[in-house]
Amino acid sequence: MTNGWVDMKNTDMMLIMGGNPAENHPCGFKWAIEAKRTRSAKMISVDPRFTRTSSVADMFCQIRAGTDIAFLGGLINYAIENNRIAKEYLVNYTNAAFVIKSDFKLPADTDGVFSGFDETKFSYDKTTWNYDAAGGPGHNAAVAGTPPGLPGSVDYDLTLQNPNCVFQLLKKHYSRYTPEIIERITGIPKEQFLKAAELYTSIRKDGDMKKAGTIIYAVGWTHHSFGTQIIRTAAMLQLLLGNVGRAGGGVNALRGHSNIQGATDMAGLFDTLPGYLKVPTPGDASFDAWMKRATPTASKPAPWDSWNYYGNTSKFTVSLMKAFYGDAATKQNDWAFDYLPKVDRDYSWTNLWNDMYNGTVKGMLAFGMNGVAIGPDSNKNIDALKKAEWLVVGEIYQDETSEFWKSPRVIAQGDMKQIQTTVYRLPCAGFAEKDGSFTNSARWLLWKNAAVPTPGDCRLDQAIVAQIFLKVRDLYKKEGGKFPDPILNLTWAYTTPQSPALSEVLKELNGKALADLEDPATKVQIKAGQQLPGFAWLKDDGTTACGNWIYSGSFTEAGNQTARRDPSDPSNMGVHPGWGWSWPANRRVLYNRASCDVEGKPWDPSRKQIWWNEGSGKWVGNDVPDFKVDSKPKDHMGPFIMNPEGVGRIFAPLAAFADGPFPEFYEPIESPIDNLFHAGRTHNPVVTKFKDADDKFGTVKEGFNVVCTTFRLTEHYHYWTKNNPMNVQLVPEPFIEMAAEMADELGIRGGEHVKISSARGDYIAKAMVTKRIKSMMIDGKKTYQIGIPFHWGYRGIAEDEGKTARTLVNALSHTAVDPNAHTPEFKGFLVKVEKV
Amino acid sequence: MSQATLRVQKISGHAGSVPGDDAQREYTVCKLIDTTTCIGCKACEVACMEWNDLPFGETVFDNTYQTMPETRWNYWNLILFNEHEKEDGSLMWLMRKNQCMHCADPGCLAACPSDGAIVQYTNGIVDFQQANCIGCGYCITGCPFDIPKMNPKTNRVFKCTLCSDRVSEGLEPACIKSCPTGCLHFGSKEDMKDLAEKRAMQLRTDYNFPQAGVYDPAGVGGTGVVYVLHDATKPELYGGLPSNPSIPWSVRLWKGPLKWLGNAAMIGGILGLVVHYLRFGPKEREETIKQPHEGAEP
């Protein structure tokens, strides 16, 4: 989230889309309700189904799964057409005024793709996706042999009239997203769309800047073959309306687990290092070459200032290398650059399973997840595990992954005896049996203590991982090996090496001084060995170590900041500065400089976050300024300090995204119609599909004519709670939500069994016939949509008693992934619906 | 709140005065349920089960999100889910937490013939004392909200206690504590009514609910549980909440003006028994082996 849970109470307007927080985040949702109760805030729910969130919303639009970009693009068009935009914010805090290279072309002019598309490689040459250098074309001509960069000085037009400025291109691009075409694509009637657009943009009526609107989303947006671009569209809309950096505003991702934000922060993805630092690739010949590629340089209009905070990348990275390898990382050995693996291709989730399916991955350690159930195309994943030599599962229950050989399909096929995979199931500790910190959706790190001891032989995850590591290290010590250095030199200075205390790990992430340090401005000194107060102290000369720069400040000399529990909130703005600790630097709202006008005065004096204090010559306020504290407003430093431009990117230049600098609507990989914008380009052109036997895709012609989406229930948590009698009592068995009209046509009554099939697999459960899903007119054709909650499988109370069908919902979904985030398209695929 | 809030005010089937009813009156407690901010998460259902140590029961899928069709003797708190299509075609998914309403004039208590099986505390809580329950089920017919339920194994009737054990210690009921959105509130009746009226006013002026209002039906003397409804003119939409609940006339008559008739019938019955005995003598015991009775449950 740019903002946070508690901050939602400050909002005037909520667009909840691609998320169902009332059901999936009921505790956090209290703040949305608080805004309704105390500010009479309005709430719009856009969802394929009328959910429990919709039940408390002021407006509901039923959208066809996967058509979010069309809807959001329509909102952008509406805001521009009706002058519901934040003009001063737009000109000064975004790149709306920046001029784009004249050879850049929009999809409307280039057959449904942006300029630079390579039909053979399914990828873009992004050279044209760049700003024009000040002084006219030619000033940023690419130097042969080097990848194109952003021009240091950008051409701009503050009147926003230049036909090639970002704003004019934006206007042109989304002028095609008319209410009429939105109705044909999304199934939302034109009048209803206009009502929603009017309501959401009403916060900028008559140029008023006081109100703030928030966009709240979850995996309903990420689970698409263009998920990143959906979120981009939302971010652009929020920039256009001046909602980012504001209390009650922002773009707010609701994370689906208590600590999934922490997992991402700690490099849960293959292409990042802790703190979202870029991984080295085989093209990086040295540490310096890597840093040169990874460190941006400022790119802005000449009179403006840009802090370009990622200019400090080398400080974060050297400190990380010192945390990893300690004394073994020196300037002489390039900070142990050779120790790091160089990521040569896509190693994301679906690729790992695909590699196992194809026999190159021989084994898997599965902790904290139920792999065959949570990934797309379960049957393929089970087939992959059949080929593995070994599988280690650390879990608190017998789950579908550790018993993949008991899946209904394996039993039906009768090939259980042929499976040679050795499965080790390790009893792990549950969340209440461990201490440690959770990083919530709001970026708040909250320390927790173990509530109960681990039962029986259960072990803590870190004890299991540590013992595997120590054993591997012993083997390297004894036997040598090709390159033992990264293993032998890894820092492992924990009091109990066999089971590191997580508080020691957090201290390591926070970082410490390796030599005596002094801040030249304030003369504040830090002694060698002391914990660092924050990432501003990090150095690239080897005198600091820090395991994750964004977590620096979480465990200082003052102690574990994440364990703080001071509920006071002096400003009554939901800041609670002494409650836990949020990254970065305990800031609650990111980009909060944008909460003020150019002079540094809050847009809304009743919701003051930070402001410029002329007397002290500093930015001060109720939150920690996300800005250079002594940068005077007249210097015009941009509020978006992490971008080299210093401003928000309405146009995302160069390699920021794989599929375009503006989001363009493409249909899901399986969709009932062709792309109405350009028939020849139905799908996201840079998405590649796997081509193995289990990777099948269906079409309407083959009878797969119903749009299917998956979802979660309040009453269950993933695949765990089917083992808990209380949860099972609340919702005893799986079901399939379908429109009453559809059920009538198929002769299905509520509670009768229904078979859902996709090109990949089948799923059988009882029908929930409801008025909460309705038929839609998609491009003039009546189309149905169904929703399936995914919480069941072949192990659980009801499953073990033989009461349910025991299949996995993800046997239906397919493996096509978002090209930026590598997230599979779990939502909006095609199925057949039959009465059993 | 202190223990004093659990002073008995009325006693079912009890002749004579109520012990301690001349003491100074404490305020009446009340639960406010704002159905317009309820998200049907069922946290209150779980909290009720856990606090009251109620056993898990089996449920079956019934084409709804509702956990079970109605409250059970061992499931006192149930959110009712109702889909309602408005005249303009838009949908409302109404969720109403259903439980004992703790009526000021409780039909169950009026109907109960057993001395002390149902009590009403001075703070308004209506509580069943299973030790005194005779299992006649009259309270079930006496309740206009269809709340009390009989445990068929023990023939005892159960319902929500408004967590009288928590309230007596100054705590809020478990359901209130668990509610994530704050749609549940607990306090004095006066405060809750005030809060409810303000919310209803907000719904009428700032939101599109011109009929929003507070449910606190006069027919049962007002309730210790009040609702804010989007449309107070149609409480039936919320899973059959009665517009004008009242104690059934049969209970009123029987326990009121016609009580002498019952007494007369009872005396008549006893007389008949005496006459029968005098005429036919004692009945001989039949020698049959009975199945052992199933284990008693609370």
Distance of CA A202 to the CA centre of its chain: 28
Same domain, A225 and A121: yes
Angle (nearest 5°) at CA A636 between A631 and A639:
75
Angle (nearest 5°) at CA B139 between B136 and B141:
95
Q: What is the pLDDT of residue B270?
A: 84
Helix, strand, or coil (residue A790) = coil
Size of chain B in residues: 298
Query: B230: nearest CA in chain A?
Result: A56
Q: At residue A415, does pLDDT exceed 70? A: yes
User: Which of A36, A60, A766 is the closest to B61 by Cβ?
Assistant: A766
CA proximity to A666, closest of A681, A645, A653, A646:
A681
Helix, strand, or coil (residue A335) = helix
Which residues, in sequence order, are bridge partners of residue B31? B186, B225
Q: What is the pLDDT of residue B298?
A: 44
Same domain, A146 and A79: yes
Amino acid at residue number B176: I
Tokens of A8: 């939602």
Amino acid at residue number A681: R
Q: What is the pLDDT of residue B264?
A: 79
Average pLDDT, stretch B263-274?
A: 81
The Cα–Cα gap between A297 and A303 comes to 16
Average pLDDT, stretch B36-57?
A: 96
Q: What is the pLDDT of residue B20?
A: 56
Which positions in chain A have a beta carbon within 8 angstroms of at least one beta carbon in chain B? 22-23, 26-27, 29-30, 33-34, 36-37, 40, 50, 52-56, 58, 60, 714-715, 725-726, 728-733, 735, 750-751, 766-772
CB contact under 8 A, A23 and B202: no
Query: In degrees rounded to 5, what are phi and psi of residue A520?
Result: -60, -30
Task: Give A-chain residues touching B181 at CB under 8 angstroms.
Answer: 22, 26, 29-30, 33
CA proximity to A412, closest of A822, A778, A805, A818:
A805
> Closest Cα of chain B to A378: distance in Å?
25
The Cα–Cα gap between A529 and A573 comes to 37
Is residue A416 domain-resident? no
Same domain, A71 and A188: yes
User: Which residues span the domain enclosing A743?
Assistant: 700-835
Q: What is the pLDDT of residue B18?
A: 64
Q: Residues near A333 by Cβ (< 8 Å), separated by ≥ 6?
A: none
Residue that has been written with the tokens 């049907």 in this structure: B40
The Cα–Cα gap between B243 and B250 comes to 19
Q: In the structure, what pLDDT confidence band is assigned to residue A146 with cuts at 50, 70 and 90?
A: low
Task: Give B-chain residues touching A732 at CB under 8 angstroms.
Answer: 58-61
Question: H or E element: which one contains B250?
Answer: helix B249-255
HSE-CB for A289 with a 13 A CA cutoff? 11
Q: At residue A232, does pLDDT exceed 60? A: yes
CB contact under 8 A, B39 and A23: yes
Is residue A12 domain-resident? yes
Last residue of a domain, one of A637, A656, A675: A656
Same domain, A200 and A52: yes
Query: In degrees rounded to 5, what are phi and psi of residue A819?
Result: -70, -15
Question: H or E element: which one contains B157?
Answer: strand B156-158
Q: Are A277 and A325 in contact (CB under 8 A)?
A: no
Q: At residue A655, does pLDDT exceed 50? A: yes
Query: By the CB < 8 Å criterion, does B37 face chain A?
Result: yes
Is residue A545 domain-resident? no
The Cα–Cα gap between A705 and A448 comes to 48
Task: Give A-chain residues touching B65 at CB under 8 angstroms.
Answer: 731
Query: B62: nearest CA in chain A?
Result: A751
Average pLDDT, stretch B223-245?
A: 97
Q: At residue A693, does pLDDT exceed 70? A: yes
Same domain, A167 and A88: yes
Q: What is the pLDDT of residue B285?
A: 62
Is residue A768 domain-resident? yes
Cα A782 to Cα A627, A664, B102, distances in angstroms: 52, 25, 50
The Cα–Cα gap between A426 and A430 comes to 12
Please give the mean pLDDT across all residues of chain A: 96
User: Which of A22, A726, A772 is the closest to B49 by Cβ?
Assistant: A726
Query: In degrees rounded to 5, what are phi and psi of residue A833?
Result: -120, 125
Average pLDDT, stretch A741-760?
A: 97
Ranking A146-160, A452-466, A579-593 by mean pLDDT, the lowest is A146-160
Buried b (16+ CB within 10 A) or exposed e, A154-167: bbbbeebebeebbb
Q: What is the pLDDT of residue B19?
A: 59
> Closest Cα of chain B to A767: distance in Å?
7
Tokens of B228: 């804010």
Is residue A816 domain-resident? yes
Is residue A509 domain-resident? no
Q: What is the pLDDT of residue B286?
A: 56
Q: Are A217 and A252 in contact (CB under 8 A)?
A: yes
Ranking A107-111, A585-589, A826-830, B284-288 by mean pLDDT, the lowest is B284-288
Last residue of a domain, one of A656, A676, A710: A656
CB contact under 8 A, A768 and B40: no
The Cα–Cα gap between A183 and A24 comes to 28
Q: At residue B174, does pLDDT exceed 50? A: yes
Same domain, A651 and A784: no
Average pLDDT, stretch A15-27?
A: 97
CA proximity to B104, closest of B235, B4, B246:
B246
The Cα–Cα gap between A168 and B207 comes to 37
Q: At residue A790, does pLDDT exceed 60? A: yes
The Cα–Cα gap between B207 and B269 comes to 62
* Residue in B32, B91, B203 to test binding to A, most A beta-carbons within 10 Å: B91
Tokens of A147: 């990848």
Residue that has been written with the tokens 């003039």 in this structure: A780
CB contact under 8 A, A30 and B182: yes
User: Which of A30, A55, A768 is the closest to B63 by Cβ?
Assistant: A768
Angle of helix A68-81 relative to helix A166-174, nearest 10 degrees, comes to: 120
* Most distant CA pair in chain A, distance: 80
Query: Could you report the per-residue pLDDT of A248-292, keeping only the tens digit for each?
Result: 999 999 998 899 999 999 998 999 999 999 999 999 999 999 999
Q: What is the pLDDT of residue B248?
A: 84
Which residues, in sequence order, are bridge partners of residue A735? A766
Query: Could you report the per-residue pLDDT of A280-311, keeping only the tens digit for each?
Result: 999 999 999 999 999 999 999 999 999 999 99
Tokens of B3: 């223990």
CB contact under 8 A, A22 and B39: yes
Q: Are A665 and A333 in contact (CB under 8 A)?
A: no
CB contact under 8 A, A22 and B199: no
Phi-psi domain of A414 (left: phi exceeds 0; alpha: psi -120 through 50; beta: other)? left
Please give the mean pLDDT across all residues of chain B: 89
Average pLDDT, stretch A476-496?
A: 96
Tokens of A789: 């909650």
CA proximity to B115, closest of B16, B222, B184:
B16
CB contact under 8 A, B94 and A55: yes
Q: At residue B297, does pLDDT exceed 50? A: no
Same domain, A36 and A181: yes
Q: In the structure, what pLDDT confidence band is assigned to residue B25 with cuts at 50, 70 and 90?
A: very low
Query: Could you report the per-residue pLDDT of B155-172, keeping only the tens digit for each?
Result: 999 999 999 999 999 899
> Closest Cα of chain B to A27: distance in Å?
5
Task: Give A-chain residues touching B42 at CB under 8 angstroms.
Answer: 714-715, 730
Domain count, chain A: 2
DSSP code, position A824: B
CATH number at residue A118: 3.40.228.10
CB contact under 8 A, B206 and A751: no
Query: By the CB < 8 Å criterion, does B95 face chain A?
Result: yes
Query: By the CB < 8 Å criterion, does B131 face chain A?
Result: no
Is residue A415 domain-resident? no
Domain covering B3-247 assigned CATH 3.30.360.10 in the classification: no
User: Which of B36, B46, B65 is the closest to A56 by Cβ?
Assistant: B36
Ranking A354-363, A381-390, B3-12 by mean pLDDT, the lowest is B3-12
A-B contacts (CB, under 8 Å): 105
Average pLDDT, stretch A176-182?
A: 98
Q: What is the pLDDT of residue A61?
A: 98
Average pLDDT, stretch A666-672?
A: 97
CB contact under 8 A, A37 and B91: no
Task: Give B-chain residues touching A712 at CB under 8 angstroms.
Answer: none
Q: At residue B116, does pLDDT exceed 50? A: yes
CATH number at residue A825: 2.40.40.20
Question: H or E element: which one contains A835?
Answer: strand A829-835
Cis peptide before A376 (omega within 30 of 0): no
Helix, strand, or coil (residue A273) = strand
CB contact under 8 A, B181 and A768: no
CB contact under 8 A, B202 and A735: no
Query: B202: nearest CA in chain A?
Result: A40
Task: Give B-chain residues touching A58 at CB under 8 angstroms.
Answer: 207-208
Average pLDDT, stretch B198-210?
A: 97
Q: What percent of chain B has pLDDT over 90?
A: 71
Q: What is the pLDDT of residue A706?
A: 98
CA proximity to A246, closest of A641, A590, A582, A649:
A590
Query: A61: nearest CA in chain B?
Result: B90
Query: B59: nearest CA in chain A?
Result: A729
The Cα–Cα gap between A369 and A581 comes to 27
Q: At residue A515, does pLDDT exceed 60? A: yes
The Cα–Cα gap between A556 and A532 comes to 6
Task: Give A-chain residues touching B36 at CB under 8 angstroms.
Answer: 56
CB contact under 8 A, B182 and A37: yes
Question: H or E element: which one contains B8?
Answer: strand B8-11
Amino acid at residue number A130: N
Average pLDDT, stretch A774-791?
A: 97
Same domain, A35 and A173: yes
CB contact under 8 A, A729 and B59: yes
Q: What is the pLDDT of residue B266?
A: 75
Same domain, A45 and A174: yes
CB contact under 8 A, B207 and A58: yes
Residue boundaries of the structural domains of chain B: 3-247, 251-280
| ipTM, two decimals | 0.94
Distance of CA A833 to the CA centre of its chain: 32
Q: Are A355 and A361 in contact (CB under 8 A)?
A: yes
Same domain, A79 and A147: yes
Query: By the CB < 8 Å criterion, does B178 face chain A?
Result: no
The Cα–Cα gap between A752 and A834 comes to 11
Q: At residue B6, does pLDDT exceed 80? A: no
Same domain, A651 and A779: no
Which one is predicted more confidently, A512 or B263?
Answer: A512
Q: Are A231 and A217 in contact (CB under 8 A)?
A: yes
Same domain, A199 and A53: yes
Q: Residues near B268 by Cβ (< 8 Å), separated by ≥ 6?
A: none
